[in-house]
Chains A and B, each alone.
Chain A
């Protein structure tokens, strides 16, 4: 190896094993022209000035009589050992500085580096095997002086290492690219991406005189920002470069973080770029200070006060209230309280961060808004930061509101556990003077709430804006658990008010639990199972009690049990059981089921008169299959056995039929033996239809966007994928159509032969045809029963908002509705009730609105019922428009992305030309149109009649009967 391409600077910290990990990762690089520059401080060797160290420095032979255990502790020894292993690639340099901080050592390493590039590794960080090759190649190919890639950091015990969330979301490292200007990748500075995982030309460092700031504890933050500012062009690679970076610890590293943050903001780069500076400030607030508040319940009082004081001492520009405006309300509150230096307030708000809906502080109302806390600042900007109106606490019933039960004292008086606590007075109880009572409930863990011990709370009293209570409990007498599996109790505080009971666990700071000692315990199975209760604080910061054995017999018994469950044969048996279970579970794999169905079950003889129904892949009991089922029931045919399939929950399905879960063995059995299949979307595509079965496909809506083989997505699929779809579509024996439009679109593009088409309309729409007739003869009142179920008063009109399906949201996310529901409710809350129905495959997250203005009906089984109820419809491209047109009621088309949607999905007709109502593209227009709905309605009446005729010409109100007749007549001749 003649030249060194990359020098990796590794500074020795306190942990020799961390040093070993880092250096070994450098030695293992696939790129051999790499060296590790291990920088040691003088004090590392000087500090343990005992014979041990001197023995080693004079020579290995002399040091060999040392204790090997203690030798491994020594950083210098580890460094020497590594250097001896590969002298060509590991070089030890020693800094003579008096205070060898990390920054000093790193700068010394940078001075000593021989490579054309340098990489700086933090404590315990490991380079991936190919990291140097990937960075080197990226830098050389693009001709940049700086190349960077992904890095991950540790995340607590047993948790997988992760990169910071902001870097993942920003997709900074999603693809290989060369950034020409910082504006293309602001996250490099905004999210501190360059703290590690980069390599930089030594020439750049020398030219710009770049070194780590020696007065900063976390100099790498400033160094990274300076690099980004000076490098000009930067090559980014999606490869993982560094792993094992220390976990994020907002409280522990707060001082260093704050100092570095302030210094970065003073860089000329950020001074000259307001947007970048604000973005960085915002990211700092969200990524450092909000997690700090979240950590507060774990800290003790001194640490909290110190942290809050540090944040409060920040320059005002760094925590400007305007920076936090787009944050969720609770995070905004946390930041405001931290900026004010209010440690106890931040503790309460930080506790609420992880518990949606919890009220952990007193609230106050002013000018119709709800604020966190009672002492409101006069400055409107600071007050706006405390505005939590959108959390909707003012609308929440007390019984559903978790409160912060803060224990102010947890102590011992003889055998009694003394608890004193405080909880914020909820808004609902603020004015009333009703008597309050409370109970302490000890929930035994692992019994799902079946085993609870209750005791009344001695005293509950009001104290300014808080409720306070005190209880002394004889734990030993109260908690009569068995003692085998029920060894932990979680005390909960239940507050009884005239409006209901609110229950919650007891929050206790970690440093206060020591005051309570042990309590005598009397398990029902005897003292061998434990003799004392020990209070402790759970990971969620709540008080819990655990059964312990302190005396000899109990301890011996516990040790014996532990041995029996953990000695080698027991461990082996556990593994065996696990393996067997895994094998057993494999029977339930989808592929196995499909194979067994298609090869074996399908040969079973059909059962005469059996019908399997499914609606929207089992999501609901509704749509046309339901209408057919109800017609079947009304006709009272004999010898018919109905089976319904459900996807996840059988709630809302009829009880007098057989219910089978979709894709279960019973489902496959039912399908294989059914004489008739009735469905509106498609039984699983890979299941064949038995030879003697008739399949009625009702379908679930006329088409606006292109479907089936007219879709580009399907056209671009390969032959085998298209053949699979063809085979699945060829299973249909009857296909219902509503008009000639369906024949020319759906039936054609799903390749349905003419003889399988049934021109009768949709059974689900029979109800609409009848409702239309009823409207004309007797008016719209009384409303159907579903109105009172949903709590809709007669004086308000009902508007249904039903947008179309936009693709499944990512796991754990919910869809954002295109319409701002809250604004609609504010404007029309007195006049309309807005029913929101997301597509049957989605679930939408609705913001909290005043009760009775917006109702989520996504989970409602039958859309036709809702359509009959609605006085007007807002939709976009959903097929619901074709159905609603039958009712001849006002329709508004809210299509903010019409052109983009049509360009992407393709459409069968021009919505703007055909729509039987106003087509609006902005929210403002929509509100205006809704305002004058009544006046403008007359102009659209003729359009609606034409639209209903064109797209629903075959609807007669007799579809269910016709469909049943066709079904029982059997299969068409082909």
Chain B
């Protein structure tokens, strides 16, 4: 790691996110990278558009400046809904205040950019802050955009249009996988590259894979597809009566899922574990990891399971999943939504200890291509590309 530190000059880095401290994957990523960059001698600061209500707890207080442009989520622009609304003076006053606030926020952002000096790199981790960046004075700084979701997922929501409108103006922007980047290239972008997320720390000890337990970790909501997992489990539970399915996580669908579990007659083999902070511990106590999501970006849970040497079965729902797992090599993939196929993969994993060992051991080795050192090297390569 010292080699990478020395190989590159210290830089001014500004990481710009929606919020400085909201509970969520992108914020966690932002602080992970900020810490990493700072540890390698770069001068880092994190700028958020606003401060959040639901706070993320950081492992340690940040050693770099964190700024928020707004104290809370800024109001969305006003659009009159009916002809009469044009005469709504209160709305107009609110809108004027919003515009003035935005002008102030943009000025502050420009000031931050100016202070960072020429040659500074601004990493816009999500597309929404581009609304402010495009109005700010970006002379002398280089812009790096990012999208932390798959192309398909963007395509189905409003962010597709946002990306199409604002990312042509950045120097380079990054998707999570090359497959997503290729999809965006086909959409007409020429300034897009790919850079995966980094895996945190590698657990000291791999899972012994002795417990007859299948683990699932994720929020209990529709996107994580726990209902599909229960369906798959019901197809195979009878053949593996001594195995347990442990579902970690909490969420809005908890009640409905538990009801479904009872209806399927799985109460005997499914354990609801609730939310956990000790992911490594949960993985150490299981021999198989299953991910039944309907949509993903670059799933951290999957990487963590592999780092613990737990073999995985997952729906092939996004390029990120295919990128992390090579089917049959260090995990097993099933076509998205095909519950029978997922049940089949689980049967194979639970029925064959030797397969679990080969896949698990290989997974622990292979997933280290996303180690922090490796990802940092790729960031430095990117900085070097932008320098030329």
Using CB atoms and an 8 Å cutoff, list the residues of chain A in contact with chain B. Answer: 5, 30-33, 128-131, 133-134, 136-137, 140-141, 174-176, 237-240, 711-719, 906
Contacts and interface: CB of A to CB of B under 8 A. Distances in A.
A30 B186 contact: no
B223 interface: yes
A128 B190 contact: yes
B26 interface: no
A9 to B, nearest CB: 19
Contacts of B336: 712, 716
Nearest to A175: B182
Given A714-B337, A716-B336, A716-B337, A137 B186 contact: no
B195 to A, nearest CB: 11
A133 B388 CA distance: 9
Nearest to A34: B388
B228 A715 contact: yes
Contacts of A175: 178-179, 182
Given A176-B181, A716-B315, A716-B337, A32 B190 contact: no
Contacts of B171: 30
B369 to A, nearest CB: 14
Contacts of A176: 178, 181-182
B386 to A, nearest CB: 9
B20 interface: no
A715 B335 CA distance: 11
B131 interface: no
Contacts of B260: none
Contact of A712 (B185, B191, B222, B337): B337
B337 A5 contact: no
B147 interface: no
B388 A136 contact: yes
B267 interface: no
Contacts of B315: 716
A175 B190 CA distance: 13
Contacts of B178: 175-176
A715 B388 contact: no
Given A128-B190, A130-B191, A718-B294, A136 B385 contact: yes
B185 A238 contact: yes
14 contacts: A30-B171, A30-B191, A130-B190, A131-B190, A133-B191, A133-B388, A134-B190, A136-B385, A238-B182, A239-B185, A712-B337, A715-B339, A718-B294, A906-B340
Contacts of B239: none
A387 to B, nearest CB: 41
B193 interface: yes
A238 B186 contact: yes
Contact of A33 (B156, B294, B340, B388): B388
Nearest to B156: A718
Contact of B337 (A30, A240, A715): A715
B337 A239 contact: no
B295 interface: yes
Contact of B222 (A31, A134, A140, A718): A718
Contacts of A33: 388
Contacts of A714: 337
Given A712-B336, A715-B339, A129 B190 contact: yes
A175 B180 CA distance: 10
A5 B388 contact: yes
Residue among A5, A131, A133 with the highest chain B CB neighbour number at 10 A: A133
Nearest to B388: A33
A718 B190 contact: no
B367 to A, nearest CB: 20
B295 A718 contact: yes
Interface residues of B, number: 29
Q: Which 10 A-B pairs have the closest CB atoms?
A: A716-B337, A715-B337, A712-B337, A716-B336, A712-B338, A719-B222, A130-B190, A33-B388, A175-B182, A238-B185
A718 B223 contact: yes
Interface string B164-193: 000000011000001101100110001101
Nearest to A130: B190
A507 to B, nearest CB: 42
B381 A141 contact: yes
Nearest to B190: A130
Contacts of B388: 5, 31-33, 133, 136
Contacts of B141: none
Given A239-B190, A718-B222, 17 more contacts: A30-B191, A31-B388, A128-B190, A133-B172, A140-B381, A141-B381, A174-B182, A176-B181, A712-B337, A712-B341, A715-B228, A715-B337, A715-B338, A716-B294, A716-B315, A716-B317, A717-B337
B326 to A, nearest CB: 16
A136 B385 CA distance: 9
Contacts of B156: 718
B294 A712 contact: no
Nearest to A174: B182
A626 B315 CA distance: 43
Contacts of B338: 712, 715, 906
A713 B388 CA distance: 46
A711 B339 CA distance: 10
A169 to B, nearest CB: 15
B179 A137 contact: no
B36 to A, nearest CB: 21
A134 B194 CA distance: 12
Nearest to A241: B190
A176 B178 CA distance: 7
Nearest to B382: A137
Contacts of A133: 172, 191, 385, 388
Interface in B221-257: 222-223, 228
Contacts of A713: 337
Nearest to B184: A238
A5 B385 CA distance: 11
Nearest to B172: A133
A239 B192 CA distance: 10
A131 B193 CA distance: 13
Q: Quick one: which of A31, A140, A716 has the most chain B CB within 10 A?
A: A716
Which one of A5, A136, A719 has the greatest number of beta carbons of chain B within 10 Å?
Answer: A719
Contacts of B190: 128-131, 134, 239-240
Interface string B184-213: 011000110100000000000000000000
A131 B335 CA distance: 36
A714 B222 CA distance: 13
Contacts of B340: 906
Nearest to A717: B294
A176 B340 CA distance: 33
A712 B317 CA distance: 12
Interface in B341-355: 341
Nearest to A715: B337
Given A129-B190, A715-B337, A137 B185 contact: no
Interface in B311-340: 315, 317, 335-340
A621 B329 CA distance: 53
Contacts of A32: 388
B299 to A, nearest CB: 16
A373 to B, nearest CB: 46
A174 B337 CA distance: 26
Contacts of A711: 337
A906 B171 CA distance: 46
A58 B223 CA distance: 73
A717 B336 CA distance: 9
Nearest to A240: B190
Contacts of B337: 711-717
Nearest to A719: B222
Nearest to B295: A718
A954 B228 CA distance: 34
A174 B178 CA distance: 12
A342 B336 CA distance: 58
B166 to A, nearest CB: 17
Contacts of A716: 294, 315, 317, 336-337
B184 to A, nearest CB: 10
A129 B337 CA distance: 41
A168 B338 CA distance: 32
